[in-house]
Amino acid sequence: MTHYLEFEKPLAEIEGKAEELRAMARQNEEMDVEDEAKALDTKAQELLSELYKSLTPWRKCQVARHPERPHCKDYIAALFTEFTPLAGDRNFADDHAVIGGLARFNDHPVVVIGHEKGHDTKSRIERNFGMARPEGYRKAIRLMEMADKFGLPVITLVDTPGAYPGKGAEERGQSEAIARSTEKCLQIGVPLVSVVIGEGGSGGAVAFATANRVAMLEHSVYSVISPEGCASILWKDAEKMREAAEALRLTAQDLEKLGVNDCVIEEPLGGAHRNHDATFEAVRTTLGALLNDLSGKDADALLKDRRERFLSLGSTGLAA
């Protein structure tokens, strides 16, 4: 791991010293530093456990945005087989911020759709940092209609700071495309399961996550607005993002109490970015359980289940 968050600086120091010792030992084979390095490893593990034991909402936002956190493409490669990407909205263009196509999950055919942020400067620009334009949502609508036609479950992977607010996107009907995608989620007669793997930002996330079942990774966030945006509006000061994060109740744990998500998927110690494989397996297990829970329901039951789930939001956990 090369990127440390602000609150992880003490950890960076300890892990850096351990790596320094091992690098010196590699250059001088007569040096025996393994006991000292192991002691530092133990100290780092204890500090990591302490740091992540009770993260504040703002720190969870930072972890959810970690640049080394696995993204949609990583999950597709790890969890699905025979993935065949389908491009374009058959109207204007192909939006690279949204990936979707046919695949197999646990050897069952499914349609998978997700936001992709990219991993480096080039891919982040190409993917528009996971901020979809109207054609991205229209591509998702097309894929959901296909899934409904052929009776395929839909899995969505949510990771976006929000829909792209640019002039061109607005000219092409951004709000209408988001609304249509949300509407399509409510109309399809097949199981729809959504996992928030990083950021669930505003309507850009709701357009994919209006599902029968919604799961969130332990350190993911889901909110109507970013803490910085909220602070700018309420206090005219983006630096009050910590207070905004507290007020928004955007963590997976808070939202589970409020009934917004159905379950929280535990992440490896230190966050998903520290152990991709363990995260993939945890998501695989949860997805399998959620899909099995929905597999015996017919189209009418699935539609009723989804509708009632969203009509009940706001009546759960009000005393929390």
Mean pLDDT over the full length of the chain: 91
The average pLDDT across 186-205 equals 94
The average pLDDT across 82-108 equals 95
pLDDT band at 144 (very low <50, low <70, confident <90, very high): very high
Specify the pLDDT at position 320. Answer: 41
pLDDT at 174 over 90: yes
Check if the beta carbon of residue 147 is closer than 8 Å to that of residue 190: yes
Check if the beta carbon of residue 279 is closer than 8 Å to that of residue 267: yes
The pLDDT tens digits for 203-261 are 899 999 999 999 999 999 999 999 999 999 999 988 899 999 999 999 999 999 998 99
Instruction: Report DSSP state, residue 216.
Output: E
pLDDT band at 167 (very low <50, low <70, confident <90, very high): very high
Specify the pLDDT at position 69. Answer: 95
Q: Percent of the chain, pLDDT > 70?
A: 96
The pLDDT tens digits for 295-317 are 889 999 999 999 999 888 876 55
pLDDT band at 24 (very low <50, low <70, confident <90, very high): confident
Which pair of structure tokens corresponds to residue 17? Answer: 């010293």
Which pair of structure tokens corresponds to residue 315? Answer: 């009546």
Specify the pLDDT at position 190. Answer: 96
The average pLDDT across 270-288 equals 96
Specify the pLDDT at position 127. Answer: 94
The average pLDDT across 178-198 equals 96
Instruction: Report DSSP state, residue 129.
Output: G
The pLDDT tens digits for 4-16 are 898 988 888 888 8
What's the chain's Rg over C-alpha atoms?
21
Residue 295, helix vs strand vs coil: coil
Specify the pLDDT at position 29. Answer: 66
Q: Which of 13-22, 175-184, 209-218 has the lowest mean pLDDT?
A: 13-22
Specify the pLDDT at position 248. Answer: 93
Check if the beta carbon of residue 256 is closer than 8 Å to that of residue 319: no
Specify the pLDDT at position 28. Answer: 72
The average pLDDT across 259-265 equals 93
pLDDT at 319 over 50: no
Q: Percent of the chain, pLDDT > 90?
A: 75
Specify the pLDDT at position 1. Answer: 52
Amino acid identity of 226? S
E strands, 106-212, are 108-115, 154-160, 192-201
The average pLDDT across 26-30 equals 69
Burial category of 97 from C-beta neighbours within 10 Å (exposed 0-12, middle 13-18, buried 19 and up): buried
pLDDT at 281 over 80: yes
CA distances from 214 to 8, 128, 143, 158, 309 (A): 30, 25, 19, 10, 10
pLDDT at 77 over 90: yes
Nearest in space to 213 (alpha carbons), one of 138, 279, 136, 297: 297
